[in-house]
Structure formats: structure tokens, C-alpha cells
Structure 1
């Protein structure tokens, strides 16, 4: 299979990566600026012909006093050309094919609540991205008339460019536009020589432009784009008719990208709807035949319904829901019933009371049929949490006086997890506990379940074996089941959707507030003890498979990203590698008498004052694409290309492994 054929075969897979469409749009602009999006037509002339027309128009405008004689810009060195151009194109400096300037200073005292709109960088960004702006600032008609006399007011076909914060964002001035702009915060490209405005706009959206202007971004806290640096940016210039054809092709392809994005969004929405519906049906209180039918549907269409790592969370939730509904493992009459287990529990509690290990429990209200969230299997029973526990208690409010740099572990809400019961021990606090009843009452033991009862109610933590001496404060409670019942079924239930609904329900009209009595009265579906252990084993098996599935989906996404980078590098290798041009790299000479390249200096005071308008941290300062002193090249956003053969081999391996191990997920 040839590389182009192989590339076409794997194009969809590559651009299915999470940022695939974004990179596809970037690729379209990259190819457009390299002259690879449309064919060249010798009948349309050359960039040299266009440059002669520009030079003639420039002389005419100077002679008529409409513009000042432009200062010469430095010649473009070969190493400044990031890639080769087609025959008939030329690299030019932006300032050689237009006039870049800023506005006159408008003081805050001149701002009005109505009149001529006055735009800062944020308004230009809004216009560029959304096509409209909610403007808050204006200037008077009279002031606008005075300021417009310098020839730098926006006119149709001009290009506005943001100069601080999110720099280089373009907006084409339309015939209906009438506004002024803030100095330094916004730059203006006066399109005196009638280049095609949309070509300039798309150039200012290309990866090359963004890399170039950020490479030497000035400022200590925000990016800035100065007039001097904007003037010296190198622009790939095609003939004017080709500029129009390039724009038409870009917009055609961007429309297709929009359609593809919409189709993918619709497909994802339908997939989520089907997934949610089938999980809802499976976890509903239905008869066994309907449950098995829905279960088999989920198993058969598993690959389509769980295509991203994010979907796995819903599957985990469904596993827990099915577990506490008695649908994850079959019931075994030989294992006894919940009624028999409750009789044993009552006997155990009487023995503990007689031994002085617990207080005599207070009677709890029975679980009415109306309270039961669903019907449990034969042999199960709904009970209150207080019937199966040895202790439900919380810490006092006075533990702050016992905090220390070392000692016993002090488990706080920050150590608990949402949707899990694994303790988070990255940050641990310590206490020297009191040697009294308070310390003895709140000491933690193996298999204790910690539950947050204020704020984010229902966060959990299960105390493992050999955890050591530890205590809790008043924001959490200890949920300690009777010794004969100690297994993880109760912890699994507490992180199930059924328990979450109880945690999230307002208590006495107050949300996010649980009393100890609320915990005692929580509803529990109680199976026989042996079945509890089988349920936990099945949960472990299926949650483990969910973990494997999530890891494989994450790996698949990573490999899609690798393939995407390979495709991008294959289609745009020169930009990827950051190499200087090797074809059509004719040096553009500066006009006779040209001065040496001008220093760029520091941003003007106006730029510093405008910085707060759109703040964006500076990440790096480096050269604009010229070689560093050590001879290396600046990094590019598209990585160095791997071979296409290697990328295809990775993809084929990914496809072979995509569904491996999934078929057994729903087997007993």
C-alpha cells in the first residue's frame, strides 16, 4: 500500500482524536499558507508582479501626502524562511505590503456611555470569534472626527490585530463598521495596497503566525505584539487572484469541518442517549426476563456504547446499582435469608450490651413499603443502618487544641473520596489525643467507614488493616458495622447511586447537613451474609474490568494522538521540522539605502497600561524563528515527523487490541 493510499485509509482514525478537528483546521491553514491547498495558475501572474504594483501605489500615496515615506525594513534572510514556497510566490515582510500602526491616545475622561464604539483587545477578540460585541465604552462623534484625521481610523478592508494578552487575533473591518480603538491594546493593518483581506485574516489565524508573534513576545506578565515586530513578520505572498482562490478553498473546507463537528456531536449525543437509556432500563426495578434482555443488549453493543474513558464512570455506577439491587449474582436459597440474619444480629447486639461494649440501642422506625426505593429479591430485606451497626458517632468540636506536628493520624474531610472509599493520604494532619472518654470514643478501627456529614455529604474513607492510631473530627462520622458483618458490602453500598440519593436529599429542609440520626435511619438492602461476600467479589471483578477498559480507551486515545501527529507531520513536514526554505527561497532584497534592522526596544507606556485588559501569562521568550546561538531551531507546535509506516503499524496494533478482553465483561 502506497503512503498516500495508507494515509487516506487512516485519515478518519487520526482525526478522531480528541483534538483532531482542531488540528485539521490548523492543517488546512498550514497547507494554505504553503501554497498546497490550490494549484498555481501562471496566467494569474506572480507575487513579483503584485509587489511592483504595491511599490507604485506606495509612491503615489507618498506623493499625494496620504502616507509618510515608509522606513525600510531589513531584508529577509534565508534562515528566516520556515519553508519553501511555490513558483510565483514570495516571502515579504508584513510592513512592506501594508501600513501597521496604532491609534492616538484616548484618555479615560473622554470615555462616554454612548456615541462611537471604542474597542479594546477584548472587544476585537469577541468580534473575531463571535461576530458581535457587547460594548461598554464610547467616544463622542466630535473626538472621533478629530482622531480620524491621522489616517489610522478603521476603514473597510483594514485588519485589526490584538496587541496585548491574547495577541494577534484578527478582525476584518466591514463596510458597516464605525469604531475607534485603544492605543497599544489594538494594532491596525491599513490595507492601502488592496491585498485580499480574508487571505490576511486566515494568515493571522495560522500556526506559523501564532508561533512567530509569540516567539519574541515582550512584557513581563502578558504577551504583547508591537508595531515594530508586526512589521517584520514574514508573510507568504501569492498573486492576488490566487489569494481569492485560497480563501474560497479554506472556507469550503472549514464548512466541511463544521459539518463534521456537528455530525460527531449528534452521533455522540445519540450514543449517550442510548447508553443512558439502556443503563436506566437495566437498573430499573423490572422482571428477570426484561433485565436479561437489556443485559444482553448492553453486552452485544458494549463497544459502541462505551467508546471513551468518561463513559466508564457510568458503567461503574451501573455495576454498583445492580449489585445492591440483587441483580449482579444469583440468589442461593441454601445461604439463608435476611430475616434469619437479622435474628442473629439481634442476638449479637444483646451479647455486646451485656458485655458493656455498646449501649442498648434505641428502637428505629420500620421501613415502610412507600420508603423502599425498589423491590429487593426474595430472601433480602430493607433495614435501617442502625440495625446493622455497632457504632455511629462523630468527633467533637474541640480537637483543634490537640493538633500536633506528629502523633496519631487525624482523618479529616480532605482525606475522604467522592464515589470511592479509598483514603487520600497526600496531606495528613496529626493529633495528640486526649486521654479520656472522648479519645476512646472517636478512635478508628480496622474496617470502620468514615462518612462526611457536613458540606460535601457522603464522601467516604475505609480504614484498612494496620492503619495505626487515628481519630476524626466533628465533620465526619464513624460507621462501624457489627463484628459478624464486617465485609465491604456496606462500603460498596454507601458509594452506590441509591446511597448517594439519600446523602443528596435535603434533611429537615437543609441541604448538605446530616445528623447522626440521619445516618442511623438510612435505608439498607440487606442480603444474606454469604451473598454479601459473593456480591463484593463480583463487584471487584467487574470494577477491575472497568479499570482495564478505561486504561485501554485511554491508550487508544493516546495512539490516535500519535497517529494524528504523524499525519500532520506527513502533510506539512517543513513546518513540522522548522527547516528553512530549500525551494523558491529567493532572498527579498531591501530597497536601496535600507537601514540596518531596527531595535525592538521595550513596550511603550500605553502597552503597559493596556496590559491589564487581557492578561495572559508569558511562557517563554525566544527568537522569532531565526537560529539560536547554539545553532538549534525554535520548537514548533507540530512535532518532528515519525515515519508513516511506523504510524500505520501502531494504528493496526491499536485496532487489533481495541476489543481484546471485552467479551468476557458480562460473563459470570
Structure 2
């Protein structure tokens, strides 16, 4: 038993060292001021990948590091042939003005962004633009609609998770309630759902084909340029944007953000082709991390099975 206790302690110390070394390597990667330092930090992670990522905590941490690198312009190279983001913003502004004139769009924000508001050193070709100028907000604040046992699905803040929509718990409203409640607009496939509190900052792409009602504490973003949705989802999930949310939020026990504050947060935008490259790279890496976590779980399961077999012999 003394030897078993010693072995257990050694294993715990080894896992803690893995986590500490990975944390240090991750910080060097994120804070690298030039390409050479960045390359050295990345090479260290690659060379020690098998040892560092034998624990799920490090894999989770690396996921967030990848998101942060993506929205800082460090994950994929910039292409000088890409039209700059300023050209993309002209298209977005044209569509915004059309919606204001023809459909009474009310969601808009200040145009001017001071240099101190830019929370990353944007790469060449990138621009900042406030969230309220990129998208229409469909916001159902106020009382909660009356729920029934079956009918038209109701999507609440509990369904909007960090990166995806979970249909559980299943809640419903009547046909009559749906028509009287949904007067500010209807979510569409590809729109983004964002939770304003309890929890703050969850984001997901709408992948529901059927009609559904939207509850309070969830804002639907209908982007003026719809094919930016996957990049914006990644940005909002990143630590660097979540920090902006916390800085703009209010409340002591449960942090929340007002729509008026949310729409003024600046968004770092790459050229549209680069956005698509970033999304493709992140999705490929996240699939790799999924497989890695599964392998870790299987290895843990094998250890558990071995222990159970040993104990069965006594």
C-alpha cells in the first residue's frame, strides 16, 4: 500500500508538471512578438506533443489558444492578393443602409473607433468595426412566453451552449403564443444566437430547420454579410473577446451585458478569404483535438478495466 501511495503521488506530480510546462509554452506562443519567437514556441509544442497532451486539461487549454491565435491573425498566413477588410466593410455598410431605408433597421453603432479600443495588433489588411454595424439584433427582452408540453419549440439561454445548440431541455409554446411573441423578427439558418446572461457569452450557429420561438436573454445576430458567421462565432468564443464582454458587463452575482453595450464592442475583421481559411484551419484542428481527447478517455478506461480485473482476482 505504501508503494501504491508513492506511485499515485508520482503520477499526480507528473500531471501537474505537464500542466505547468504546457501553460508556460502556451503563454510564450500567445505573447510572441515576432515570427522567430512564435516559431520556437510552436516547435517546442510539436516536439513534445505526445507528452504534453496526455491530459485533457492541456488539450482544453490548447483549444482556447488556437482560437486566440486565429483571431489575432497568427494561425494562417496573410495573402497580399486578398482584398482588404476595408472593401468588405463597404459592402456591409451598403447593406446596412439598405436595411435602414427599406426595412426600418434600428441596430447600429458608432462608426469611429479610437486606437485604444483596438484590443489586438491587427495584421495588414484587417480592420475593426463595431458589432452593431455588422448585424441586426433580434432581441426578445421582457417577460418569458408561456410554456406548454408540446407545440412550437422554444430556444432559451439554456439551449445555447459554447459553440452549439443543445435541444435539451425541450420547451414549447403554442401557435397563438408564437405569433404574439415573435414580433421583432425570425431567426434563420446560419444566424448566430448569443446569450446575454446566465450564462454570458455563449454563441452558436442556428442549425434548426423548423420554426422556433426565441426566449429572453438570447440575442439573434442576423449578419449583413451572412458568410462571416463562422468566423464571428470563433471570435466570440475566444478568450480575447470574452474578456471584452466581461469588461462591458454589469452585475455582481450573475454577469450580464446590455444590448446597447454589446453593439459597441469593436470586432477585428480579416479579409473575407482569410476568414474562410481561418475557419477551415480551426475546424481541422478541433477535429484533431476531439480524437485526441477520445484517445485519452480510452486509455483511462483501459486502466480502469485493468484495475477491475486485478481486484477480481482477490
1:513 lines up with 2:256 in the alignment:
yes
Matched pairs, number: 311
Cα RMSD (Å): 2.2
CA contact (8 A) 1:442 1:472 kept: no
CA distance in 1, matches of 2:98, 2:139: 24
* Pairs within 5 Å for 1:306-325: 306-325=53-72
| TM-score, reference length from structure 1 | 0.44
**Which residue does the alignment assign to 1:384?**
130
Evaluate the alpha carbon distance shift between residue 398 and residue 549 of structure 1 in structure 2; reply closer, same or farther with a 3 A threshold: same
Deviations 1:206-247 (A, max 9, x none): xxxxxxxxxxxxxxxxxxxxxxxxxxxxxxxxxxxxxxxxxx
Contact 2:201 2:242 in 1 (8 A): yes
Give the match's secondary structure for 1:370. Answer: helix
Correspondent of 2:282 among 539, 564, 587:
539
Long gaps (5+) in structure 2? none
Deviation, structure 1 residue 434: 5.1
Contact 2:29 2:38 in 1 (8 A): yes
Q: In 2, Cα distance between the equivalents of 1:553 and 1:488?
A: 28
**Structure 1 residues 69-80: aligned runs within 5 Å:** none
Q: Is the 8 A contact 1:413 1:452 kept in 2?
A: yes
More helix as a share of residues = 2
Q: Which of 37, 41, 44 is residue 290 of structure 1 equivalent to?
A: 37
Aligned pair 1:333/2:75, yes or no? no
* 1:404 paired residue number: 148
How far apart in 1 are the matches of 2:30 and 2:68?
6
- Picking from 283, 297, 303, the partner of 1:554 is 297
What does residue 502 of structure 1 align with? 244
SS of alignment partner, residue 413 of structure 1: coil
Q: Contact 1:328–1:535 at 8 Å: present in 2 too?
A: yes
Q: How far has the Cα of 1:285 moved from its partner?
A: 5.2
Show CA shifts across 1:289-337 (max 9, x none). 2111111111111111111233321121111111111111111111111
What do residues 29-58 of structure 1 show as CA deviations (whole Å, max 9, x unaligned)? xxxxxxxxxxxxxxxxxxxxxxxxxxxxxx
- Could you say which residue in structure 1 is the equivalent of 2:139? 394
1:347 is matched with which residue?
Answer: 94
Mapping of residues 3-402 of structure 1, within 5 Å: 25=1, 254=2, 256-284=3-31, 286-356=33-103, 358-359=105-106, 362-364=108-110, 366-389=112-135, 391-401=136-146
Matches of 2:183 and 2:71, distance apart in 1 = 33
Residue 487 of structure 1 is matched in structure 2 by 229
The 1:508/1:568 distance shift into structure 2, 3 A limit, reads closer
Which structure has the greater CA radius of gyration?
A: 1
String of CA shifts for 1:534-554, please: whole Å, max 9, x gaps.
111111100000001111111
Alignment check: 8 A CA contact 2:196 2:257 kept = yes
| Distance of 1:513 and 1:484 partners within structure 2 | 26
Q: TM-score, normalised by structure 2?
A: 0.90
- How many angstroms does 1:363 deviate by? 4.3
Cα pair distance change 1:502/1:308, threshold 3 Å = same
1:222-277, CA deviations, whole angstroms, 9 ceiling, x for partnerless residues?
Answer: xxxxxxxxxxxxxxxxxxxxxxxxxxxxxxxx1x4444333333322222111011
- The 2-side partners of 1:559 and 1:257 are apart by 18
Q: Could you tell me whether the CA contact under 8 Å between 1:506 and 1:512 is conserved in 2?
A: no
CA distances 1:178-198 after superposition (whole Å, capped 9, x unpaired): xxxxxxxxxxxxxxxxxxxxx
Change (3 A) 1:449 1:458: same
Give how far 1:356 is off. 2.1
Q: Is the 8 A contact 2:69 2:75 kept in 1?
A: yes
Following the alignment from structure 1 to structure 2, what is the Cα–Cα distance between the partners of residues 308 and 550? 8
**How far off is 1:465 after superposition?**
5.2
